């Protein structure tokens, strides 16, 4: 019998992304941060490849720009904007949390203990509301010209 | 120590991306506000070539390429390394991402350089 543990066998892998445990809201923000990050990375790579099209000349470039001006691409562009805003705002939250801001005054560790996640909860809500407002503002400039 | 350095660079890339991407957005998407021209004009071939000939633009795009690709690919590396991989596969992920990043950077840098040297008027 082979009892040798495989490397990193204590990790949940993709299942760990979905299991929120007791950190519910923040856990889903974590999932959203990852998915938006992957989406933005995929876009960045496509954007670099797509803008390389300029080497093929003015006509090829104009065709590409006409394609991007079509309604489906406007929607995709807005989704990218939403992902970028969410990723950036949640990133700001993560930096503030990581650096220990907005934790409040230290308290005696008396049961029931409060976690730092709960102490940051109002900050989380404020940042997400701001993100929502930015997304709405972006939609007005993109769709109602 | 190496991982700390890589993570620190990942964090350091954030303000660089924020500033340079902000400038990129201002030029490309908010041209009517900042440059008094329509988005279509800002994206036109001749305007793009003319803009790409500026040294400042060249530097901005190369730095944005480096910071954006590093930040994104480091994030992807972190996600992939959390999967239950064997140490050999972790190495494959590391090297694969490095090679992919270098190739995409080479393409982006070449296009930026090409624009910098392209003759005006097509």
Per-residue pLDDT of B44-75, as tens digits, reads 999 999 999 999 999 999 999 999 999 999 99
CA–CA gap between residue A84 and residue A76 (Å, rounded): 12
Confidence (pLDDT) at A142: 67
Nearest to B87 among A7, A44, A62 (CB): A7
State the average pLDDT over residues A111-139.
90
Q: What percent of chain B has pLDDT over 90?
A: 70
Q: How far is CA B52 from CA B49, B111, B119, in A?
A: 5, 10, 11
What are B64's two structure tokens? 């944005």
In a domain, A8, yes or no: no
Q: What percent of chain B has pLDDT over 70?
A: 98
| Average pLDDT of every residue of chain B | 91
State the average pLDDT over residues B9-31.
90
Confidence (pLDDT) at B1: 83
Chain A residues 17-56 with CB within 8 Å of chain B? 34, 37-38, 40-41, 44-45, 48-49, 51-52, 54-55
pLDDT at B92 over 50: yes
Torsional class of A86: left (φ above 0), alpha (ψ -120 to 50), beta (otherwise)? alpha
In a domain, A70, yes or no: yes
Q: Could you tell me the domains of chain B?
A: 2-117 (1.20.1300)
pLDDT at A1 over 50: no
- Is the Cβ pair A62, B45 closer than 8 Å? yes
Nearest to A48 among B82, B86, B108 (CB): B108
Confidence (pLDDT) at A2: 53
In a domain, A76, yes or no: yes
In a domain, A3, yes or no: no
Q: How many domains does chain A fold into?
A: 1
Confidence (pLDDT) at A52: 94
CATH number of A56's domain: 1.20.1300.10
In a domain, A9, yes or no: no
Q: Please tell me the least confidently modeled range out of A43-57, A86-100, B16-30, B91-105.
A: B16-30
| SS3 annotation, chain B | CHHHHHHHHHHHHHHHHHHHHHHHHHHHCCHHHHCCCCHHHHHCHHHHHHHHCCHHHHHHHHHHHHHHHHHHHHHHHHHHHCCCCCHHHHHHHHHHHHHHHHHHHHHHHHHHHHHHHCCCCC
In a domain, A109, yes or no: yes
Q: Domain range for residue A79?
A: 22-143
pLDDT at A36 over 90: yes
Q: Please tell me the least confidently modeled range out of A40-49, A73-82, A98-107, A118-127.
A: A98-107
| SS3 annotation, A27-53 | HHHHHHHHHHHHHHHHHHHHHHHHHHH
For residue B11, give how far its alpha carbon lies from the nearest alpha carbon of chain A (Å).
9
CA–CA gap between residue B71 and residue A137 (Å, rounded): 26
User: Hey, how many other C-beta atoms are within 10 angstroms of the C-beta on A48?
Assistant: 19
Confidence (pLDDT) at A24: 79
Of the pLDDT bands very low, low, confident and very high (cuts 50, 70, 90), residue A82 is very high
pTM value is 0.87
In a domain, A136, yes or no: yes
In a domain, A12, yes or no: no
**What is the per-residue pLDDT across A37-69, written as a single tens digit (0 to 9) for each?**
999 999 999 999 999 999 999 999 999 988 888
| Average pLDDT of every residue of chain A | 85
- Is the Cβ pair A44, B69 closer than 8 Å? yes
């Amino acid at each position: 019998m082979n009892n040798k543990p495989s490397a990193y066998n204590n990790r949940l892998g993709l299942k760990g992304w979905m299991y929120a445990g007791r950190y519910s809201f923040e856990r889903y923000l974590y999932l959203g941060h990852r998915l938006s990050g992957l989406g933005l990375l995929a876009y960045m790579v496509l954007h670099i490849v797509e803008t390389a099209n300029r080497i093929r000349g003015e006509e090829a470039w104009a065709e590409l720009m006409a394609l991007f001006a079509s309604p489906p691409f406007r929607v995709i562009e807005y989704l990218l904007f939403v992902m970028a805003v969410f990723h950036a705002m949640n990133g700001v939250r993560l930096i503030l949390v990581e650096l220990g801001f907005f934790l409040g005054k230290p308290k005696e560790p008396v049961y029931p203990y409060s976690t730092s996640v709960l102490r940051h909860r109002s900050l989380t809500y404020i940042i997400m509301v701001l993100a929502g407002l930015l997304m709405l503002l972006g939609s007005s400039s993109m769709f109602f010209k | 120590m190496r991982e700390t350095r890589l993570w620190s660079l990942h964090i350091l890339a954030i303000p660089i991306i924020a500033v340079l991407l902000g400038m990129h957005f201002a030029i490309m998407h908010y041209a009517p506000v900042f440059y008094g021209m329509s988005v279509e004009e800002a994206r036109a071939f001749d305007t793009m070539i003319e803009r790409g000939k500026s040294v400042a633009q060249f530097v901005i795009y190369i730095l944005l390429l480096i910071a954006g690709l590093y930040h994104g690919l480091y994030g992807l590396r972190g996600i992939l390394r959390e999967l239950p991989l064997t140490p050999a596969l972790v190495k494959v992920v590391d090297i694969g991402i490095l090679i992919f990043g270098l190739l995409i950077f080479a393409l982006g840098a070449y296009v930026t350089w090409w624009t910098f040297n392209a003759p005006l008027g097509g």
